[in-house]
Amino acid sequence: MDIRNVPAETASVAPGFEQGYAVRTRGLTKAFDGHVVVDHVDLEVRDGEIFGLIGPNGAGKSTLIKMLTTLLPPTSGEATVAGCDLLREARLVRARIGYVPQLLSADGALTGRENLLLSARLYLLPRKERAERIAEALAMTGLEGAADRPAQNYSGGMLRRLEIAQSTLHRPRLLIMDEPTVGLDPVARNAIWDHVRDLRTRFGTTILITTHVMEEVEALCDRVGILHHGRLEKVGTPAALKAEIGPDATLDDVFAQIAGTDIEMGDEHGNARESRRSAIGHG
């Protein structure tokens, strides 16, 4: 079944929702104590694409993701996520998206299987299908052999795969991942990339990732949005963004051109809390 083509099943389709977009925001803004962190962002993620959100530390990526996952209420603006209104139908949004946070979100004291069972119950997977879906998810992530070991004994790559399995057990229409390959070795990173592509192929899942790694963008993303000082500065295919700069430009050049101004300005706009959190994530 192609989830992309399933019409929004309920009568409660948000006004303004247009078919074909997994995410659509209008003037989405977040300010903390008058300090604007996300500034009137109009983001469109098309159904079925892998969209990369890049930007320097403190650009507002994490705050934007927190709003899209309903964890943080926006200061102003509106959005439809997975066909539902972000403000009025938050619970429905949560039922239709999967989220892999930057921080470790699997419970280390539980086994892989127990972690998956937790998600299966929270997302109300029909009882009859639970065991089958969990087995399938374990197979897809190559964790069958480790399923009954506590997750705290997993390697970084295994944990990430478990977390993705937990977040996609309910076959979300949209999977959001916050820096999914930070701290992973190249082999583990490639395994994650393969898995993400596989999810799209098999289930038509739309994928929105944030990343610092330009290699990840090249390997995965159909389109990229560059966030800087809370504004969505540029959106396009990796090839188009490179072509804008010059014939031999790399994505690093694109990133440096946009983020470069930061170096002159110091880090006064940097969100200290966000940087600290990512420091924990990296450690």
Q: Interface residues with other proteins (CB under 8 A)?
A: 1, 6, 9-10, 12, 66, 69-73, 91-92, 94-97, 99, 101-107, 109-111, 114, 117-119, 121-126, 150, 166, 170-171, 173
Task: Find the shortest distance in angstroms from Cβ 238 to other proteins.
Answer: 28
> Which residue, among 128, 227, 131, 237, has the nearest Cα to 178 in the 3D structure?
227
Name which of 150 and 236 has its Cβ closer to other proteins: 150
Task: Find the shortest distance in angstroms from Cβ 194 to other proteins.
Answer: 23
**What b/e sequence results for 133-145 when a residue is b if at least 16 CB atoms lie within 10 Å of its CB, and e otherwise?**
bbeebbebbebee
Q: Under a CB-based contact definition with an 8 Å cutoff, are residues 56 and 259 in contact?
A: yes
Name which of 35 and 91 has its Cβ closer to other proteins: 91
Task: Find the shortest distance in angstroms from Cβ 57 to other proteins.
Answer: 18
Name which of 16 and 73 has its Cβ closer to other proteins: 73
Name which of 89 and 262 has its Cβ closer to other proteins: 89
Task: Find the shortest distance in angstroms from Cβ 70 to other proteins.
Answer: 7
Task: Find the shortest distance in angstroms from Cβ 104 to other proteins.
Answer: 5
The whole-angstrom separation of Cα 43 and Cα 54 is: 13
Q: Under a CB-based contact definition with an 8 Å cutoff, are residues 81 and 93 in contact?
A: yes
Q: Strand 44-46 vs strand 21-32: parallel, antiparallel, or unpaired?
A: antiparallel
Task: Find the shortest distance in angstroms from Cβ 30 to other proteins.
Answer: 11
Name which of 108 and 260 has its Cβ closer to other proteins: 108
Name which of 119 and 206 has its Cβ closer to other proteins: 119
